[in-house]
Amino acid sequence: MSRIRTAVIGTGFMGRVHLEALRRVENVDVVEIAATSADKGRIAAEGFNVLNSTGDWQDVIRDPSIDAVHITTPNAEHFPMAKAAFEAGKHVLCEKPLAMGVAEAQELVALQAAKGLRGAVNHNLRYYPMVQQMRRMREAGDFGDILVVHGTYSQDWMLYETDWNWRVEPAIGGASRVMADIGSHFFDMAEHVTGLRVSEVCSDLAVFWPTRKQPKSGGESFSGKLGVAGEAVDTPIVTEDFGMTMFRMGKARGAMTASQVSAGRKNGLVLEIYGTKGGAAWRQETPEELWLGHRDSPNQVLMKDPSLLDAQARGFADFPGGHAEGYPDTHKQLFRRFYAAIADASLTPDYPQMADGLRQMRILEAELASAQSRSWVNVT
């Protein structure tokens, strides 16, 4: 099998996560890193032993020898970069949220299809082994018809007024901050695991800090926890710190919260599903466990051990029981399937596609409209 040549655009928190994960994917070579400056690109390339680097992402697009591109930049750049990459005949793996709105996401879905290329959105959290076990058990009917879905995605890295991140600025991150950034993960996982689709939402969003201390530089994800470097400027805030959504998935009912101001919750995605035959709950802070709820027998906690997993879930566990697999491993699992689909055009994609990214934009658009109108809104 010929080796696939790829490039990573972005050297912030997610850029480095992608670069690390790509080193663990078979038959793929990162041949170029694009950053916001030539120096940043060179430093990253030297660190990750990558041949080429640039301070201009268009160099990647212009290089006909590059087969695929990872886009790990702030949200406003996803659409122009993905559009240019598709138009140049390159496969695209883009960070979530896919775009700044439904229209951009729709255009990317159409362009990818017209070009016959592979496109993925990095909803990597699907690929914890026990999330896949939850999904496969639901597919096997172990929980019956799903009645209730609920959970949260809670973090605390934006709790203080002095915490800052590029997502705070609508021009860079979009109209929504928390619901776009981590609420999208919750709904992608809820739909992936239940096999249902969010049909209606009723949302309430909260901005707890009307102004924040914007540092003169920095703003990378989670960087505020290390202290604000230098002087800061009071900046008005309009993007939400917290959101909650009631939702319907056909007959099923659900509720969720997304928060980046919940002290002590470091990266806490929780999904609970309850059906006519049983329930299940998964917590990102204890990712190797799956809680199974029963009405007529003792509840159980299933620990990841490939020998105990559903045959299809087993493919997402590379290590034996007791050898924890976590956040970095989920990227490896998603990327491995993306590149396998590039290498073999006959493969059915088994990763979040551009159409899944569009779905999340539609849910987000409905949440924003609902919060504005304080009413239930259909997801188109």
List residues near ligand SOE by CB under 6 A: 155, 181-182, 185, 221, 267
Residue with smaller CB distance to ligand SOE, 68 or 258: 258
In the complex, what is the shortest distance from the CB of residue 355 to ligand SOE, in angstroms, rounded to a whole number? 19
Contacts of 208 (CB under 8 A, 6+ apart): 241, 242, 261
Q: How far is the CB of 116 from ligand SOE (least distance, A)?
A: 28
- Beta carbons within 10 angstroms of residue 346's beta carbon: 5
Torsion of CA 48, 53, 58, 64, to 10 degrees: -80
Closer by beta carbon to ligand SOE, 166 or else 339: 166
Give the nearer residue to ligand SOE in terms of CB position, either 155 or 203.
155
User: Residue-wise over 46-56: b if at least 16 C-beta within 10 A, else e?
Assistant: eebebebbbee
- Encode burial over 179-190: b for 16+ CB neighbours within 10 A, e otherwise: bbbbbbbbbbbb
Smallest gap from Cβ 312 to ligand SOE, in A, equals 24
| CB 185 to ligand SOE: min, Å | 6
User: Which residue, 304, 273, 307, is CA-closest to 287?
Assistant: 304
Whether the Cβ atoms of residue 35 and residue 347 lie closer than 8 Å to each other: no
Q: Report the residue number, 224 or 275, with the smaller CB distance to ligand SOE.
A: 224
Minimum distance from residue 380 beta carbon to ligand SOE (Å): 24
Q: Please, what is the minimum distance in Å from the beta carbon of residue 122 to ligand SOE?
A: 8
> In the bound complex, what is the minimum distance in angstroms from residue 314's beta carbon to ligand SOE?
24
| Residue 345, number of CB atoms within 10 A of its CB | 8
Token pair in block for residue 131: 């999330």
**Residue in this structure with the two tokens 């362009």, named with its chain if needed:** 111
Compare residues 127 and 143 and give the one whose CB is closer to ligand SOE: 127
Cα separation, 361 vs 378, whole angstroms: 13
Written as six digits, the tokens of 2 are 């010929």
Q: Which is nearer to ligand SOE, 97 or 215 (CB)?
A: 97
Nearer to ligand SOE, 31 or 358 (CB): 358
Q: How far is the CB of 373 from ligand SOE (least distance, A)?
A: 27
| Residues counted in the chain | 380
C-alpha distances (whole Å) from 212 to each of 84, 261, 265 are 35, 13, 21
Q: Which of these, 43, 68, 63, 64, lies nearest to 53 by C-alpha position?
A: 43
Instruction: Write down the least CB distance from residue 172 to ligand SOE, Å.
Output: 13
Cβ 284 to ligand SOE, closest distance in Å?
9
DSSP-assigned beta bridge partners for residue 204:
244
Please write down the HEC assignment for all residues of 233-285. Answer: EEEECCCCCEEEEEEEECCEEEEEEEECCCCCCCCEEEEEEEECCCEEEEECC
Is the CB of 186 or the CB of 247 nearer to ligand SOE? 186
* Nearest-CB residue for ligand SOE: 221
Nearer to ligand SOE, 17 or 85 (CB): 17
> Given the complex with ligand SOE, which of 137 and 261 has the nearer CB atom?
261
Residue 129 to residue 312: CA distance in whole angstroms: 10
